[in-house]
Amino acid sequence: MQILTPDLCVIGAGSGGLSLAAGAAQMGARVVLVEGGEMGGDCLNTGCVPSKALLAAGKAAQAMRSGAAFGMAPVEPTIDFAAVKDHVAGIIASIAPHDSQERFEGLGVTVLRDWARFTAPREVQAGQTLIRARRFVIATGSHAAIPPIPGIEEVPYLTNETIFALRERPDHLLILGGGPIGMEMAQAHRRLGCRVTVIEAARALGRDDPDCAAVVLASLRAEGVEIIEGQAVVRLRRVPEGVEAVLADGLVLTGSHLLIAAGRKPAIERLNLEAGGISHSRTGITVGANLRSVSNRRVYAMGDVAGGPQFTHVAAAHAGVLIRQILLGLPAKAAPSAPWVTYTEPELAQVGLSEAEARAAHGDRVTVLRAEFGGNDRAIAERKGKGLVKVMVVKGRPVGASIVGPQAGELIGFWALAIATRVKLGTLAGLVLPYPTLGETAKRASGAYFSAKLFDNPALKRVVRLVQRFVP
């Protein structure tokens, strides 16, 4: 059996693991990267990339239906569902070389294509290779959580790992789960000609601001997506038409296909963590703020498996945190939160505290500012005036922002920077932004903080009248 003794062993070649391995190797560390599945992980192969490619196809189809407002006759598109999936596969293939084994071997990384398992606190086995590294980083990500619904073992179902390989268009897609994945797939498939029903046991898009989420849900319902909230599925059964779902209130739904989008769980089953002396829970590896295992100081975790926010950009940020510690010996901590986006149309984005969280934390010291896209000239020109920017402010500084509307995912970066750097609203209100842009909503929201002080201030009005009377 081959024995390797690198400085660093990274387990998992998703976005976080790849970023860390590439950075460490280029900085002079000896790195082994272990991956039993596809290079690029979930994001490239079954997550972010294919879902956005499918959404783009749905958006193109919807554009053909919605030209009347611009003076063009609406046309119902003829959709070749298999060709749409060829488009999705093509996008993955165009990005794959950046994440490929060949590229990382070219950077000096030793890449092992097998599943890793701990055999001791300082030892991992991958196939016929033993790795005894100074440091290990677990970056195995997460996968779809399958809820324990009676009958689920007997019915065919899809997850994000299988739905993008489906080449025949579902006649009626049942989606179990009304979170970001469920709602994105609902809109994409509806626009591509499927009947879609979303079943959510609680509130659809429940992690997001209710005012903003309501705009998205209204848009999806207007496009024909059926969304059932507050109803759990209590039984599943295979039927000739596909899958039958019985809800808590007795309603029976029959779909040709079932997509499970009911949350994620950390991918730790294969790792034999007990042998490595690595504490863990149902949310992932138990780590401190520095991402280091609380029970094995030679082990770190990053990304979805570290128990925090499950986003690709969080995993990439974790790579920087670990590089500073492992390679440079500097203290570093992971940020406790991160912005997120649901890429429906309109998009839905959040950073920092929501209104409810801000009020719970700061009480009546919170000021909530709003700017409607209906008052933004660029949004009006493009007939995308539905939506709003909501900013939570404490002592003149933003502590959170919620956006629903066109390009919300691009606009949330402005507020992420403002919150991270503790910029005052006066600075933001004084910015000169190009006209007409969607970004002017940020300036309008910031300016609203001062409107009452300027326009509803009797003392200030008296000063203005005195100046007009006596100053030449």
Q: For the chain, list the domains and their CATH numbers.
A: 2-39+100-144+265-327 (3.50.50.60), 152-262 (3.50.50.60), 346-455 (3.30.390.30)
Nearest residue to 154 via CA among 266, 267, 249, 258: 258
Cβ burial, residue 471 (10 Å; 0-12/13-18/19+): exposed
- Give the pLDDT score at 460: 65
Alpha-carbon distance of 416 to 352, in angstroms, equals 8
Q: Are strands 31-34 and 110-112 parallel, antiparallel or unpaired?
A: parallel
Mean pLDDT over 42-57 rounds to 96
Query: Percent of the chain at pLDDT above 90?
Result: 93
The yes-or-no verdict on residue 441 having pLDDT over 90 is yes
How confident is residue 451, by pLDDT bands cut at 50, 70 and 90? confident
Q: Which of 111-120, 200-209, 223-232, 439-448 has the lowest mean pLDDT?
A: 439-448
Q: Given the structure tokens 């005195």, which residue do they identify?
A: 466
Contact between residue 369 and residue 446 where contact means Cβ atoms under 8 Å apart: yes
What pLDDT does residue 370 have? 96
Asked if 199 and 174 touch (Cβ cutoff 8 Å), the reply is yes
* pLDDT value for 464: 72
Q: CA 315: distance to chain centroid?
A: 11
Per-residue confidence (pLDDT) for residue 454, from 0 to 100: 65
To the nearest whole number, what is the mean pLDDT of the chain? Answer: 95
171: confidence class by pLDDT, cuts 50, 70, 90: very high
Type of residue numbered 258: L
pLDDT tens readout for residues 244-293: 999 999 999 999 999 999 999 999 999 999 999 999 999 999 999 999 99
pLDDT digits (tens, 9 = 90+) for 324-376: 999 999 999 998 889 999 999 999 999 999 999 999 999 999 999 999 999 99
d(CA 49, CA 149) in angstroms, rounded, equals 30
Task: Report which of 227, 222, 212, 226 is spatially closest to residue 65, judged by C-alpha positions.
Answer: 222
Q: How far apart are CA 282 and CA 165, in angstroms?
A: 29
**Arithmetic mean of pLDDT, 440-445:** 94
CA–CA dist 134, 353 (Å, integer): 39
For residue 463, the tally of other CB atoms under 10 A from its CB is: 11
Mean pLDDT of 97-102: 96
Tally Cβ neighbours within 10 Å of residue 165: 12
The average pLDDT across 172-179 equals 98
Q: Residue 317: pLDDT above 70?
A: yes
Q: What is the mean pLDDT of residues 300-320?
A: 95
- Rounded CA separation 136/140 (Å): 12
Number of H helices, E strands in the chain: 14, 25
Given a cut of 70, whether residue 405 has pLDDT beyond it is yes
